[in-house]
A and B are shown apart, each in its own frame.
Chain A
Amino acid sequence: MAFLQNKWALAALVIFCWASATSFTAGYYYYHYNDLLAKVSGITIHVNLGINYGDNTPTQWFNGTEAKMGMTLLNVTMLVANVNYTPYAGLGAFLESINNKNNSYPHYWMWWMWTSWGGWIEGPIACDKYVVGDGETLFWYYEDTSISPLPKPPP
C-alpha cells in the first residue's frame, strides 16, 4: 500500500491521534475546572492585595481583603480601589488606572503574584481572567515597562 511508504502521512496520523487524545483530556479538565469553580463560588476567602504607585510612596496593603471564591483579581481590586479598565475581546481587561493614576508610556500598571517557589512572578494572564485563591498575595505595581526584565515589586 502506497500510503505506508509516505512517512509524513504516518507522522500526520500519529500527530492527529495525539492531538485528539490531548483535546479530550483538556476538555475533561476544563469541564471539571468550571464545575469546581461553580461549586465553590460564593465561599468567603481572604486575599492580600498591595498597590504601589511607583512614586516612592509606601505600598498600600489591603491585607485580608474579604472576597468571594470565583472572584478575579480585577473584582478584588475594585473592592479596594477606584479602577478603570478597557476590555479586549479574547484577551481580557487591560487596566488603565488605579485611583486616578493613569497608564502613561512607559509606565503601566502591572500585576504580580507571590509564590512560595519563585517569589514575585509576573501575572501570566489578564487581571479579569485570574481567579484569586484564599490567602493569596497579589500586587499592582505602576512601573517602567521599558526596563527588561521588569523590576519586581519593592519589598
Chain B
Amino acid sequence: MKTSHLAIISSLVALCVATNYALVGVPNVKVMDFIVFVGGFCFGITAGALVGILSWTVYGVLNPYGFVPQIWLATMFSESIYGVVGGLLGKNFASTDFHDQRVRLIIFFAATGFILTMVYDVITNIVYAWTLNIPVITTMAVGAPFTVLHEISNTQIFGIGSAMMVTAIRKIFQGERFGISSK
C-alpha cells in the first residue's frame, strides 16, 4: 500500500472518529457512514473497508455508551459494508459525469444510503439480540425509532453530500492517481 493511500485512510479515519465524538449527543445521526462510503467510492474497496474498521476500532473501544466486544466486532465489520459498496459503486461510476444528472444521483445516493444503513442496522440488531439473549423481532421493533432515524439521516446526508463530495475529491486529486475513480 502506498504512503499516499495510508495518509488518506488515516485522515478519513480521523475525520470519522472526530465527527463521531462531536455528534455523540445525537444518537444515530453520524457522518461516519458517509465518510466511509465516500472513502470507498473514491479510493477503492480496501480503503473504504479499512476506514470503516479502523474508525470503529477507535470509537468502539473508547465509546461513551459502553463497550461490548461482540457488538463492537459486529459494528466494526458492518461499518465496512459502506466502504465495500462505495468501492464497488465507485468502479461503476468511474465514467459517469456528475454534472449531467444531479437529481438522479441525489435519489440514487440517498437510496443507497438508506439501504446500506438498513443492512447495517439489521446486522447490528441481530448481534445485539444474540449477545443480550433478547428475541430478534423484539429488538428490531423496540429499536425501530433509532433505526428509522439512522436511515433517514443517512438518506439525507448521502443524498445531499455524495455527489458534491466525490466531485470535490476528484478536483482535489486531479492528475494524481490515488486510485480515485475518475473519467
The reply to whether chain A is a binding partner of chain B is yes
B80 contacts partner chain A, Cβ-Cβ < 8 Å:
no
Q: Is the CB of B93 within 8 A of A28?
A: no
Among A1, A5, A25, the one with the most B-chain Cβ atoms within 10 Å of its Cβ is: A1
- Report the minimum CB–CB distance from B29 to chain A (whole Å): 15
Cβ–Cβ < 8 Å partners of A21 in chain B: 114, 148, 151-152
Q: Is the CB of A27 within 8 A of B140?
A: yes
Cβ–Cβ < 8 Å partners of A30 in chain B: 141
The 8 A CB mask of B97-111 against A (1 = contact, 0 = none) is: 000010011011011
Contact of A20 among B101, B108, B110, B118 (CB under 8 A): B118
- The dominant DSSP class at the A interface is helix
Cβ–Cβ < 8 Å partners of A25 in chain B: 144-145, 148
B96 contacts partner chain A, Cβ-Cβ < 8 Å:
yes
Which of chain B's residues 124-183 have a Cβ closer than 8 Å to chain A?
137-138, 140-142, 144-145, 147-148, 151-152, 155
A13 contacts partner chain B, Cβ-Cβ < 8 Å:
yes
The 8 A CB mask of B69-111 against A (1 = contact, 0 = none) is: 0000000000000000000000011001000010011011011
- Report the minimum CB–CB distance from A17 to chain B (whole Å): 4
B24 contacts partner chain A, Cβ-Cβ < 8 Å:
no
- Report the minimum CB–CB distance from A19 to chain B (whole Å): 11
A24 contacts partner chain B, Cβ-Cβ < 8 Å:
yes
- Report the minimum CB–CB distance from B169 to chain A (whole Å): 18
- Report the minimum CB–CB distance from B35 to chain A (whole Å): 21
Contact of A17 among B93, B111, B137 (CB under 8 A): B111
- Report the minimum CB–CB distance from B106 to chain A (whole Å): 10
Cβ–Cβ < 8 Å partners of A14 in chain B: 107, 111
Cβ–Cβ < 8 Å partners of B148 in chain A: 21, 24-25
Contact of B147 among A1, A10, A24 (CB under 8 A): A24
B115 contacts partner chain A, Cβ-Cβ < 8 Å:
yes
Which of chain B's residues has its CB closest to A18's CB?
A: B114
- Report the minimum CB–CB distance from A39 to chain B (whole Å): 15
Which of chain A's residues has its CB closest to B103's CB?
A: A10
Please report the C-alpha to C-alpha distance between residue A117 and residue B120 in the assembled complex, in whole angstroms: 44
- Report the minimum CB–CB distance from B180 to chain A (whole Å): 17
A16 contacts partner chain B, Cβ-Cβ < 8 Å:
yes
Q: Is the CB of A10 within 8 A of B108?
A: yes
Q: Is the CB of A27 within 8 A of B111?
A: no
- Report the minimum CB–CB distance from B147 to chain A (whole Å): 5
The residues of B with any CB-CB pair to A shorter than 8 Å are 92-93, 96, 101, 104-105, 107-108, 110-111, 114-115, 118, 137-138, 140-142, 144-145, 147-148, 151-152, 155
Query: Can you list 27 A-B pairs, Cβ within 8 angstroms, ordered by A?
Result: A3-B108, A4-B105, A10-B104, A10-B107, A10-B108, A13-B108, A13-B111, A14-B107, A16-B111, A16-B115, A17-B111, A17-B114, A17-B151, A17-B155, A20-B118, A20-B151, A21-B148, A21-B151, A21-B152, A24-B140, A24-B144, A24-B148, A24-B151, A25-B145, A28-B141, A28-B142, A31-B138
The residues of A with any CB-CB pair to B shorter than 8 Å are 1, 3-5, 10, 13-14, 16-17, 20-21, 24-25, 27-28, 30-32
